[in-house]
């Protein structure tokens, strides 16, 4: 039986569930998506499924395949390069604002990222660290764009991390500590410089790994 209730909630439920499946790679890049299969999965009509897929298309997470339906957007090395370039600009701007505008309590709270997490939660830890800097900027609009960007990059990180021969979580945590030190000293220039190098280093590692991944176009 198809589920009844608030149609807006149904659309949002389908959208957010599919979005999370795509970003976590439970639906890998290139996976085919069919309205009837998804409607059955969520126990809804095709209408909320279709609207969710259109929203995901606008997010560049899904693409329409003529006469076949939809598929999860493959990861493009060129697009990944552009995303890292954009991320570098946004993150350095957030760091400069954070050093100037964050409260002492916010900057002190960054100390929770000094300890290396378990490997199985490192991706979540890394995302939380960068999002905490966005929030410290006190610029809600810029932070929202930066957070959306890093969330969309989550799947390319998951795809590439197993192919990284030089992936060293301890080294990345040390880089995080240097960023935290600069922010807590309210040295925006130093924080921005360290963060820019941090993002550029990540870009080189991920792009190299993505070039070897079979799900990459």
The more confident residue out of 47 and 160 is: 47
Query: pTM for the whole thing?
Result: 0.82
CATH label of the domain that carries residue 52: 1.10.10.10
**Mean pLDDT along residues 89-116:** 97
Q: Do 56 and 149 fall within a single domain?
A: no
pLDDT given for residue 167 in this prediction: 63
User: What DSSP string runs through the chain?
Assistant: ----S-HHHHHHHHHHHHHHHHHTTSS-TT-EE-HHHHHHHHTS-HHHHHHHHHHHHHTTSEEEETTTEEEEPPBPHHHHHHHHHHHHHHHHHHHHHHHHH--HHHHHHGGGGSSPPPGGGHHHHHHHHHHHHHHHT--HHHHHHHHHHHHHTHHHHHHHHTT-TT--HHHHHHHHHHHHHHHHTT-HHHHHHHHHHHHHHHHHHHHHHHTT-TTB-
Question: Is 1 a domain residue?
Answer: no
Tell me, yes or no, whether 200 lies in a domain. Answer: yes
The more confident residue out of 127 and 209 is: 127
Is the pLDDT assigned to residue 1 strictly greater than 50? no
**Beta carbons of 153 and 123 less than 8 angstroms apart:** no
CATH number for the domain harbouring residue 134: 1.20.120.530
- Res 164 pLDDT > 80: no
As a whole number, mean pLDDT of residues 194-217 equals: 82
Q: Are 101 and 200 in a shared domain? A: yes
Q: Is the pLDDT of residue 6 over 60?
A: no
Residue bearing the bigger pLDDT, 1 or 100: 100
Q: What is the predicted pLDDT for the residue at 213?
A: 64
Last residue in a domain, options 52, 72, 92: 72
> Is 215 a residue whose pLDDT tops 80?
no
Report yes or no on 2 lying in a domain.
Answer: no
Residues 115 and 169 in one domain: yes
Q: How many domains does the chain have?
A: 2
Is the per-residue pLDDT at 185 higher than 50?
yes
Whether residues 21 and 122 share a domain: the answer is no
Shared-domain flag, residues 138 and 194? yes
Domain that holds residue 33: 7-72
Is 156 a domain residue? yes
pLDDT band at 145 (very low <50, low <70, confident <90, very high): very high
In this structure, is residue 87 part of a structural domain? yes
């Amino acid at each position: 039986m198809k589920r009844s209730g608030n149609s807006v909630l149904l659309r949002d439920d389908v959208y957010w569930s599919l979005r999370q499946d795509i970003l976590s790679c439970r639906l890998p890049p290139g996976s085919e998506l069919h309205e009837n299969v998804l409607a059955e999965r969520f126990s809804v009509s095709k209408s909320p499924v279709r609207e969710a897929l259109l929203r995901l298309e606008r997010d560049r997470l899904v693409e329409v395949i003529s006469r076949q339906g939809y598929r999860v957007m493959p990861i493009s090395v060129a697009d990944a390069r552009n995303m890292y370039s954009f991320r570098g600009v946004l993150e350095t701007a957030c760091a400069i604002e954070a050093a100037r505008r964050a409260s002492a309590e916010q900057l002190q709270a960054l100390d929770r990222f000094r300890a290396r997490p378990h490997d199985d939660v490192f991706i979540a830890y890394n995302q939380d660290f960068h999002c905490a800097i966005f929030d410290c900027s006190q610029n809600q609009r810029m932070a929202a764009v930066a957070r959306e960007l890093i969330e969309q990059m989550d799947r390319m990180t998951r795809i590439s991390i197993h192919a990284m021969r030089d992936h060293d979580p301890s080294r990345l945590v040390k880089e995080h500590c240097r960023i935290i030190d600069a922010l807590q000293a309210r040295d925006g220039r130093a924080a921005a410089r360290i963060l820019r190098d941090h993002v550029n280093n990540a870009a080189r590692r991920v792009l190299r790994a993505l070039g070897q991944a079979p799900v990459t176009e």
